[in-house]
Amino acid sequence: MRYKLFLLLVALMPALIGPAFSTELLIFAGSGMRSPLEELGRDFTVETGIEVFYDFDGSGRLGSKILTGIKPDMFIPGSDKWADKLKEKGAIKQCFPLAYHVPVIVTPKGRDKVKSLQDLTNKDYKLALGDAKAAAIGQNNQRLFKKLGINYADMNVVARGIAVKQLLQWVESGAVDAAIVWHADAVQSKLVDMIELPQQLNSIDQIPLCLMQAPPHPREVAKFWKYLLENGSRIFAKHGFQTLPLP
């Protein structure tokens, strides 16, 4: 009799104590937002018990994954380009501006070579730029140089990175003389000097918070969406992002 009672209790245990694991949200996000998003994810998990896992990569690579059928609960690319493309494909339900990516020039600490945009056309200086097919920073580079009337042939581009962190590492190591990265990444490095660009000449990207059509965990991701809208600007600003509406 006791043995039967034991078996009954074992069978009922999941119902009595609830699920063994919490829901796990999968968020695709541009690699340049790692610091603020990881902080927001940790705080959200503490508050709700819902786990947040990120796949950080170049926005183009993440967008391509979605087009192949891999569905995250949310997509946070580094610019509107992939958000717009996935909206057209019917993969995204809605987007909301979260923060802004502001491009800056970075050079190795103490290496007094590149001082302005004009110096980027000096072929004595080795440059690293973003890969436009893989990362939002690469697409931004294209728009910026087109706006300034600078041709790639005028520059000594020796490497193209698939993510901002890669560009920053090349500059930090001294492998290149300069790169264009996001302001938020530059201010976190102690190994680079930063050159800000005049706003009227710059090409600033909006970071959209995108909710997927039919996400795998609709109720839980709706809570995270609300949490990001309420807390995202404050945490992104803390990590060096522009969050106020631009003039």
pLDDT digits (tens, 9 = 90+) for 110-167: 998 899 989 999 999 999 999 998 888 999 999 999 999 999 999 999 999 998 999 9
- Asked if residue 73 and residue 129 are part of one domain, the reply reads no
Predicted TM-score of the model (pTM):
0.78
- Asked if residue 107 and residue 186 are part of one domain, the reply reads yes
Please state, for a pLDDT cut of 70, what percent of the chain lies above it.
Answer: 89
- Asked if residue 211 and residue 92 are part of one domain, the reply reads yes
> Is residue 30 a contact partner of residue 58, using CB atoms and an 8 Å limit?
yes
**Distance (Å, rounded) from C-alpha 108 to C-alpha 112?**
8
- Asked if residue 109 and residue 92 are part of one domain, the reply reads no
- Asked if residue 218 and residue 189 are part of one domain, the reply reads no
Q: Closest Cα to residue 206, out of 33, 39, 54, 43?
A: 33
pLDDT, residue 31, reads 85
Domain that holds residue 145: 103-196
Strand partners, 92: 212
- Asked if residue 165 and residue 231 are part of one domain, the reply reads no
- Asked if residue 111 and residue 188 are part of one domain, the reply reads yes
Residue 178 main-chain phi, psi, to 5 deg: -165, 160
The two three-digit tokens of residue 167, written as one number: 């560009």
Angle, alpha carbons 240-245-246 (nearest 5°): 85
Q: What is the CATH number of the domain that holds 213?
A: 3.40.190.10
- Asked if residue 113 and residue 79 are part of one domain, the reply reads no
Q: What is the pLDDT of residues 178-215, one digit of tens each?
A: 999 999 999 999 999 999 998 888 989 999 999 999 99
